[in-house]
Amino acid sequence: MKRSPKLTKQKIVGAAVELFDSQGFDGTTVRQIACKAGVNVALISYYFKNKKGLLEWVMVDYYEGMFHRLDACRYDSEWESLSELLHSMAENMVRFQCESYRVTRLIQRELSVESMLGREIMSTYLARLKHYFAAIIEEGITEGEFPALEVNGIVIQLLAIISFPYSYPQIIREVFYLEPLDERFVEQMVCYTSDFLRQMLTPINTLR
């Protein structure tokens, strides 16, 4: 029987994500990953070079998937206002993070460490993510749809709100008694994010 390289890669990645997430990147060995995936250590070297290469693959795959979803909002679907586009992008990001919650948490944790890989991911993907949201908000400000807000501030807060429950699912579970992967919580998160955007982007003169 011939082995499928795609399936083997998936098995290795799945095992790595689980171990990195539960034991930490530093606390995990290539041997443990091979053992959990049921493959030879040499196969990991062949596909990913080393443990760092594996983590890089996981991060790149994650962000490529996220941008695929965000691009679908931006370019493929119809939206009537920039506000509607923002809401739809935020919703897709919430759903994407929930679907890949283990990888989300793993990547957020790794991004809190000062490392070369982290910096590469920041300058490639997080800068692009910031640009996606900032460009829409800036356009809305120019066109008068949104008030003249501090764009960096809104984007930082939006990213914070979207990622928190999936970076810290235990806090949501143990402290707020909510189930972060439950569809009802996801719906709530989408509402929270929408409320946040609507409240923050409502022109101030109608507010006070």
Interface residues with a second copy (CB under 8 A) are 22-27, 105, 108-109, 111-114, 118-119, 122-123, 126-127, 130, 150, 152-153, 155-157, 159-161, 163-165, 167-168, 170-172, 174-176, 178, 188, 191-192, 195-196, 199-200, 202, 206-207
Question: Tokens for 111?
Answer: 């991004």
Taking the complex as a whole, how short is the minimal distance between the CB of residue 12 and a second copy, in angstroms?
Answer: 21
For 168, counting Cβ atoms within 10 Å of its Cβ (0-12 exposed, 13-18 middle, 19+ buried), the class is middle
Question: Tokens for 120?
Answer: 């590469």
Q: Which is nearer to a second copy, 81 or 123 (CB)?
A: 123
Q: Which is nearer to a second copy, 39 or 107 (CB)?
A: 107
80-106 per-residue burial string, b: 16 or more CB within 10 A, e: under 16: eebbebbbbbbbbbbebbbebbbbbbb
Quote the CA–CA distance of 41 and 95 in Å, as a whole number: 34
Q: Which is nearer to a second copy, 10 or 22 (CB)?
A: 22
- What angle is formed at CA 11 by the lines to CA 115 and CA 121, rounded to 5 degrees? 20
Taking the complex as a whole, how short is the minimal distance between the CB of residue 61 and a second copy, in angstroms?
Answer: 20
Taking the complex as a whole, how short is the minimal distance between the CB of residue 21 and a second copy, in angstroms?
Answer: 8
Q: Which is nearer to a second copy, 9 or 21 (CB)?
A: 21
Question: Tokens for 145?
Answer: 């749809």
Taking the complex as a whole, how short is the minimal distance between the CB of residue 172 and a second copy, in angstroms?
Answer: 7
Q: Which is nearer to a second copy, 25 or 96 (CB)?
A: 25
Q: Which is nearer to a second copy, 43 or 161 (CB)?
A: 161
Taking the complex as a whole, how short is the minimal distance between the CB of residue 108 and a second copy, in angstroms?
Answer: 7
Taking the complex as a whole, how short is the minimal distance between the CB of residue 141 and a second copy, in angstroms?
Answer: 15
- Alpha-helical (H) ranges within the chain are 5-23, 30-37, 41-48, 51-71, 82-99, 101-111, 116-121, 127-142, 151-167, 169-176, 183-200
